[in-house]
Amino acid sequence: MIGAQIQKLTEDLPQDVTLVAVSKTKPNSAIEEAYSVGHRDFGENKVQELCQKAEELPNDIRWHMIGHLQRNKVKYMAPFVHLIHGVDSERLLAEINKQGAKNNRVIRVLIQIHIAEESSKFGFSYEEAKALFTNENQYPNVQIVGLMGMATFTEDKTQITREFETLSTFYNTWKAQKDLSVLSMGMSNDYPIAIASGSNMIRVGSLIFGRRN
Ligand SMILES: *Cc1c(COP(=O)(O)O)cnc(C)c1O
C-alpha cells in the first residue's frame, strides 16, 4: 500500500519537484516498502530516530532532517545527513559549520523562514534572512542551498497561498545571487498549493504512511 501510494504521488508531481517521504514515528518496515519501489529521500524530525534508522537501513538513502534542531544534537548526524531543512538561527548555522569542519564535509542546509502568520513556528524573519544573505559568508563548511517554510495550519487556502507566494517571491529574489536551488514547502494538506506557488521540494508524511499516533 505504501509503495503504491508513493508511486501514485510521484507520478502526479511535476518533474522538478522532489518528494521527501516523512517517515517520523514509522517503523523501518514502512521505509523499506517505499525503498523497494525506488524511493530514496526520507525525512525525520528527531535526531535520535534519524540516526538509528540511518544505521539500520540501506546506505543510499538520502536523510533529510526536517524538524526543529537543537545545537547539541547536530554532531550525531553531521557525518551523513543529506539536507537539514530547519535551520532557524545563526547560532545553529555556526554549530553546523563547526560539525561540518570536524567531519571534513560541507553540510547542505535550508534556511527556515517564519512565514506563518501564527506565532508558534520557528524560523528567520525575512529581515534576518536578508541580513544573513547580505553579510559575508562566515561558514565555509555549510552550503545554503535554499529555503524552507511552513504555512499556518488553517483551512483558509487564501492565507496559505499568500504565505507560500511571499516565500516564493523572496526565494526568487535571492536565487541567482546566492545560487539557491531548493524551495521546500508543502506537506500532506497543502502541497498542491505549495507547488502552484513555486515549491520544488515537498515533505509529505501522513498521505504516504497513514496517520501518526
Ligand atoms: C511532520 C512534518 C511534515 C509532514 O507532515 P504531514 O502532514 O504528515 O505530511 C512536514 N514537514 C515537517 C517540518 C514536519 O514536521
Tell me the CA–centroid distance for residue 122 and ligand 1, in Å: 14
Nearest atom in ligand 1 to 86's CA: 13
Q: Answer whether 0.95 is exceeded by the pTM.
A: yes
Residue 121: pLDDT over 80: no
CA of 170 to the centre of ligand 1 (A): 22
Average pLDDT (127-132) is: 96
Confidence of residue 108 (pLDDT cuts 50, 70, 90): very high
Cell 541580513 maps to which residue? 131
pLDDT surpasses 70 at 154: yes
From ligand 1's centre to the CA of 128, what distance in Å?
Answer: 24
Ligand 1 nearest-atom number relative to CA 189: 7
- Categorize the per-residue pLDDT at 122 as very low, low, confident or very high, splitting at 50, 70 and 90: confident
Taking residues 14-28, report their average pLDDT.
97
| Mean pLDDT score, 172-197 | 97
For the stretch 169-178, contacts whose Cβ atoms lie closer than 8 Å and that sit 24 or more positions apart, written own/partner, are 170/113, 170/126, 170/129, 171/146, 171/147, 171/198, 172/198, 174/133, 177/133, 178/133, 178/144
Among 2-16, 75-89, 112-126, whose mean pLDDT is lowest? 112-126
Q: Look over the chain and give the mean of its residue pLDDT values, rounded to a whole number.
A: 96
Distance 93 CA to ligand 1 centre (A): 22
Question: How does residue 117 score in pLDDT terms, banded at 50, 70 and 90?
Answer: confident
Mutate to test the pocket of ligand 1, among 23, 44, 45 (most ligand atoms within 8 A of CB): 45
Q: Residues of the chain with pLDDT > 70: what percent?
A: 99
| Strand intervals (E) in the chain | 18-22, 41-44, 62-65, 83-87, 107-113, 142-149, 182-184, 201-204
Tell me how far the alpha carbon of residue 147 lies from the centroid of ligand 1, in angstroms. Answer: 16
Q: For ligand 1, what atom is nearest to the CA of residue 191? A: 9
Task: Provide the b/e sequence for 145-180 (b: ≥16 CB within 10 Å).
Answer: bbbbbbbbeeeeeeebbbbbbebbebbeebeeebeb
Res. 42: pLDDT tops 80: yes
- 143 vs 31: CA distance, rounded Å: 28
End-to-end CA distance of the chain: 19
Predicted confidence (pLDDT) at residue 188 exceeds the cutoff of 80: yes
Residue 213 is predicted with a pLDDT of: 79
Residue 120: per-residue pLDDT: 64
Identify which of 115, 203, 209 to mutate to test ligand 1's pocket (most ligand atoms within 8 A of the CB).
203
pLDDT average, residue stretch 10-34: 97
**From CA 145, how far away is CA 147, in angstroms rounded?**
7
Domains of the chain: 2-208 (3.20.20.10)
Q: Which helix (H) or strand (E) holds 161?
A: helix 157-178
**Per-residue pLDDT tens over the stretch 49-107:** 999 999 999 999 999 999 999 999 999 999 999 999 999 999 999 999 999 999 999 99
CA of 116 from ligand 1 middle (Å) equals 15
Query: Which residue, judged by its Cα, is nearest atom 7 of ligand 1?
Result: 188
Residues with a CB atom less than 6 Å from ligand 1: 22, 24, 45, 66-67, 150, 187-189, 203-207
The residue-averaged pLDDT of 154-167 equals 96
Q: What is the pLDDT of residue 118?
A: 77
